[in-house]
Amino acid sequence: MFRALSLCVPFFVSLILMGSTFVATAQTGLPVPRFVSLSVDEVNVRVGPGRRYPIAWTFVRVGWPVEVIAEYEHWRQIRDIEGATGWVHKSLLSGRRTILITGDRRPVYEEPDTDSEVVLLAEPGVQGTLAECDGLWCEVDIAGNRGWLKASHFYGVYENEKIR
């Protein structure tokens, strides 16, 4: 029994590797990688692109920002803030851009300038929505408070990314 299993493992691993090569080239016309958010409050993340694959973990927070790093048919491979990857059905994702405060408490300013008034101090782990970015500063909304935050102070935008 163990011998049969050990003979199957290399074959199974090679199938996975062949599949991941194919997945990396699948396209919907949208950029990969790209940031998106979870559209529902419970998202099963699977080890492969399909319902037949086991669930690796479950997100339980609507609006959580994640990165799409690959596509295969109706499935998207995502990466979270901790670098963990897995597969989710595209219907569980939204194109709405959200953010997650990282590091220490972060000041959100009235204008994209550290000399402007501080609108609020955002705690690490707080979520918000992303309105626009100029590559250095981003306009965000956190709990109904709109202001400007340095792009390096949160997860959910690429370095020097511009969003209008």
Task: Indicate if 85 and 129 belong to the same structural domain.
Answer: no
Q: Which residue has the higher pLDDT, 19 or 69?
A: 69
Claim to verify: residue 57 and residue 83 sit in the same structural domain: yes
Verify that 83 and 105 share a domain, yes or no.
no
Structural domain span for residue 121: 99-163
Are residues 17 and 41 both part of a single domain? yes
Residue 20: the pLDDT is: 42
Q: Spell out where 15-163 has E strands.
A: 34-38, 43-46, 55-59, 65-72, 75-79, 85-89, 93-94, 98-101, 106-109, 118-122, 127-134, 137-142, 145-150, 154-155, 162-163
Please say which residue of 54, 76, 96 terminates a domain: 96
Residues 63 and 129 in one domain: no
What is the rounded CA–CA span in Å between residue 121 and residue 108?
A: 6
| pLDDT-derived band at 28, boundaries 50, 70, 90 | confident
pTM for the predicted model, two decimal places? 0.81
* Interval 68-85 mean pLDDT: 97
The CATH number linked to 143 is 2.30.30.40
Q: Where is the domain boundary, 77, 96, 115?
A: 96
